[in-house]
Structure 1
Amino acid sequence: MSTVDKQLATMLANVPEKTGKSMADWMTVIAASGLDKHGKILAMLKGDHGVTHGFANLIAAEALKANAGDQAPTDPVADQYSGAKEALKPIYDAIVAFAQSLGDDVEVAPKKTSVSLRRKKQFTLITPATKSRIDLGLALKGDAAQGRLETYNAMCSHRVRLESVEDFDDEVKAWVKEAYSRSG
C-alpha cells in the first residue's frame, strides 16, 4: 500500500472521531441536502457542521463517488503522478514527508490537480505542473521574491520550481518550514 493509500485509509478511519459522524451518517446528511456539486457540499459540511477542510473534502468526494455508482476509492495523487508525470512522485513524497515531520497537525488535502498542505490554513500547494516539474506553492506573503523563490498566485504568494528530489534542498525546506510556522 502506498503512502497516499495509507493516508487515505487513515483519514477514512478517523472520520467518526474527527467529525462526530460515520461516513454512512454523512452520506445521509448529504443526500438529504440535495446538493450534488463538490464545492457546495464542501461549503455545507464546513459551514453548517464545522467539519475541517480536509475531512469535508474527503467526505464530499466520497459522497459524489458513491452517487456516481463508483464504490472503488479513487486516489487523486496516483492520478496526478501517473503516465508522463510518474517520475515526479519521489519529489512529491519528499515534500509531504518533510512537511509531516514539522508537526502532527499537517493535513494532506488532495485535490484533482494538486495537493494542499494545511494547518489552520494552507501553507503549501504541490502541483505537478509539467511532466518534468512540480510547482511548490508557498504561503509567504510579504516576503520578497528572490532567486528560486518566485511570485506566484492568489492561493500561494510564492513558488519554487522543482525538477528533482535534489531541488528540494535545505533552502526550499526552510521556506516550507517558515510557511508552516505562519499557518498555525
Structure 2
Amino acid sequence: MDKALQTMINNMPEKTGKSLEEWKLLLQEKSFEKHTEGVKYLKAEFNITHGFANTIVTLSKDDKGSEESLVENQYQGKESLLPIYNELIAYINTLGKDITITPKKGSVSIIRKRQFVLIKPATKTRIDLGFKIKDKPISGRLENSGPFGTMCTHRVKLSNKDDVNQELKDWIKEAYEKSK
C-alpha cells in the first residue's frame, strides 16, 4: 500500500472520528449508485473533507470488488482498448513511487497528492485521458476537459497504442510534476 494512503488511513480516526473499518460498516448500510453520491453523503452528514470522503468510498468499494475486476468491467466489450490502458499504466508507474492508481466503476484515477490523470474508456474505440495541468494552453490534440469538467483541465482522445507517444508522456509527466 502507498505510504501516503497508509498515513491517511492511520490518521482517519483522529481527523474523521471513525476508523476506516467503522466507515466501511456505515457505508455497507447505504447503497449508492455512484461514487460521488457516497462522497457527498459523507461530506454533508459527517462534515469530513473531500479527500477523506473520497478515500473512504474508494476503499469501501475495494471490499466489493478487486481493482482488477473494476478495470476488467470497464473494458468489457472494449477489450481492444486494453493495450492502450496497459501502455499508460506502464509509463505512469515509471514516474515515481508516490503514485496511487485508483480504479473506480467507470474510470481510473491516478493520484499523487491529488489526482493528476484520469483514464476513462469513453467509447468502444476510444479512451479519454484527462489531465490536471493548470495554466497550460489548449492546442491540437490537447483539448479542453470536455466531459471531465473541473476534475481535469485538459483531455486527449486515444484510439490506439501509438497515441501513447512522447508528446503524451511529456504531458503526463508535467501533470505529475505539478501535482506535488
- The TM-score normalised by the length of structure 1 is 0.71
Q: Is 1:151 aligned to 2:144, yes or no?
A: yes
Q: Is 1:78 aligned to 2:65, yes or no?
A: no
- Equivalent residue for 1:118? 111
The number of aligned residues is: 163
Aligned pairs for 1:1-184 (under 5 A) are 19-20=9-10, 27-28=24-25, 30=27, 35-37=30-32, 38-39=35-36, 42=39, 44=42, 48=48, 55-62=55-62, 65=64, 73=66, 75-83=69-77, 85-153=78-146, 154=149, 155-184=151-180
Q: 1:178 is aligned with what amino acid? A: E
Report sequence identity in percent: 36
- 1:82–1:146 Cα change, 3 Å: same
Q: CA deviation at 1:60?
A: 2.1
Question: Aligned partners of 2:157, 2:120: CA distance in 1, in Å?
Answer: 10
RMSD of the TM alignment (CA)? 3.2
Contact 2:100 2:112 in 1 (8 A): yes
- 1:87–1:73 Cα change, 3 Å: same
Q: 1:171 is aligned with what amino acid? A: E
Question: Aligned partners of 1:49, 1:143: CA distance in 2, in Å?
Answer: 28
Q: CA deviation at 1:62?
A: 4.0
Contact 1:80 1:128 in 2 (8 A): yes
Q: Spell out, residue by residue over 1:113-167, the C-alpha distance to the aligned partner (whole angstroms, 9 max, x if none).
A: 1111011111111111111111111112221111111111421111111111111
**1:109 is paired with a residue of what secondary structure?**
strand
- 1:35–1:102 Cα change, 3 Å: same
Contact 1:116 1:126 in 2 (8 A): yes
Structure 1, gaps ≥5 residues long: 1-9, 66-71
- 1:73–1:177 Cα change, 3 Å: closer
Q: Spell out, residue by residue over 1:9-63, the C-alpha distance to the aligned partner (whole angstroms, 9 max, x if none).
A: x68xxx87862499756544656xx554454654649965997577524322146
- The TM-score normalised by the length of structure 2 is 0.73
Structure 2, gaps ≥5 residues long: 14-18
